[in-house]
Amino acid sequence: MTTESEAGAPAGPFKLTLSEPETWKRVLQVEIDRDYFEGEYGKNLRQARKGHTRPGFRKGKVPLTMVEQDLGGEVRMDTLEKVVPRAYQAALVEHRFMPVSDPVMDDLHMEEGEPVKISLAVEVRPEIVVRDYDDLPLRQREVALPDGAVDETLERLRDSRAAWDLTESAAASGDRLIVDITPLDDEGRALEEKIAKDYAFVIGAEGNFEAFDEAMTGTQVGDERQVTVTYPADYSSEELRGLTVTYRIVVKGVSAKQVPEFDDAFASSLKEGQTLLELRANIRDELLAEEQKKVDHEIREQIVDLLVERNPFELPPSLISRYLESSVEEMKQRSAYLGKTPTDEQIAAYRETGRPRAERSIKAMVILEAIRKQEDIVVTAEQLAARIDEIAERSGFPVEGYRDYVESNGDDERIRHDLGDELTFAFLRSRAKFE
């Protein structure tokens, strides 16, 4: 697609021709009226004369022809660098595309007596028309709890209310150790600034690394161990994902657990007047609500997969690069926190494995925003205010104070965007076909 327009008055200085070689790319052919350019060049040359010196002439008194001999080429290019952005701004106003990168200048022609010609290439945010988002075939599993889920939660609650009695016996499964944990760098040196003092560690607890349980079983106060673990790529803490870390652990205390009985007294200790039967019912409701969130998330993922599959389009390379570079920087920060320095090979592999996820995330963002525009899905001021109040109440913040905090920090736009996504997903679900 190619369009032409005049920027400014009918005899304005710029002739702009815009083409679209890719959905994510615009090429702007700029012709600058020669008289206009020479006028700007003359102004800049006279300005340059004020600071120019030459033997035999006072500063600012060098004849203009000599100034041009000395500085003409430099001033001409400086003039171009000042004039081209004006043409580019005129194109932005006229054609209303959304650049995601700085323009790259190319193919400069400055033949004497002819208009100055230059090409500007810029990456833009794709503007797409989303299709086939009605009757999306979605699969929704039943919201149900596995057998024993309530009992398991009750057991964890009871464990959390357990008393711990110091013991001089060797540590066994279920015992709690108070330890100092110090990560070591690649040379085996202690990273003292990252030491975790008086850390409570329960042998055999859910989520423990087997290496920790094995190393600490049988220890007593004063014992020291070294443990090396490799964190999986999907580890819950982003700072540790994919890293191998060696820790030095010093045992400072060993305690045996004494758990309370399951009875109404235990239930009432959690909420005054609550019976054990009521506690079980409340736990079941909370677990079902969490399970519903998981099901909702699964449905959102299905919707994104279908939309991306049904609406293929190319992304600007710069958007993908920025997303990946942001992820790499986060990985470097996580590594630095633990005294590690990732190699170039590790960074390259991390960037390559993250590319599909980056492309899917960016495409989902573009598609959802396009659907909102096509369907006129708008977050009203009332909806935004209600959501802010809801977050404040759920988090235990004073409502008025939280409103002021959100507005002063610009968080209202983030909340508006998240709420817009929710409304869009709700719209798509309402028109889907569930199996």
| More confident call, 270 vs 312 | 312
- pLDDT > 70: percent of the chain: 97
Q: What is the pLDDT of residues 20-65, one digit of tens each?
A: 888 899 999 999 999 999 999 899 999 988 988 888 888 888 888 8
Over 80: is that where the pLDDT of 418 sits?
Answer: yes
Query: What is the DSSP code string of 190-224?
Result: B-GGG-EEEEEEETT-TT--HHHHHHHTT--TT-E
CATH domain 276-434 topology: Trigger factor, domain 2 (1.10.3120)
Average pLDDT, the chain: 89
Q: What is the pLDDT of residues 384-394, one digit of tens each?
A: 999 999 999 98
| More confident call, 303 vs 400 | 303
Distance CA 101, CA 315 (A): 12
159: number of Cβ within 10 Å = 15
Q: Using pLDDT thresholds of 50, 70 and 90, give the confidence band for residue 12.
A: low
Judged by average pLDDT, the poorest of 6-15, 65-74, 314-323 is 6-15
For the chain, what are the domain ranges? 2-123, 163-258, 276-434
Q: What is the pLDDT of residues 147-170, one digit of tens each?
A: 899 999 998 888 888 888 888 889
Quick check: do 2-123 and 276-434 share a fold? no
Q: What is the pLDDT of residues 169-215, one digit of tens each?
A: 899 998 999 999 999 988 888 888 889 999 998 999 888 899 999 99
381: number of Cβ within 10 Å = 9
The predicted pLDDT at position 7 comes to 40
Q: Using pLDDT thresholds of 50, 70 and 90, give the confidence band for residue 8.
A: very low
Q: What is the pLDDT of residues 232-261, one digit of tens each?
A: 888 877 778 888 899 999 999 999 888 888
Residue positions counted in the chain: 435
Residue 10 Ramachandran class (φ > 0 left, ψ -120 to 50 alpha, else beta): alpha
Query: Structure pTM?
Result: 0.65
Judged by average pLDDT, the poorest of 8-17, 111-120, 338-347 is 8-17
Tell me which architecture the domain covering 163-258 has in CATH: Roll (3.10)
Distance CA 313, CA 409 (A): 35
Confirm or reject CATH 3.40.50.300 for domain 2-123, answering yes or no: no
Q: What is the pLDDT of residues 338-382, one digit of tens each?
A: 778 888 888 888 889 999 999 999 999 999 999 999 999 999 999
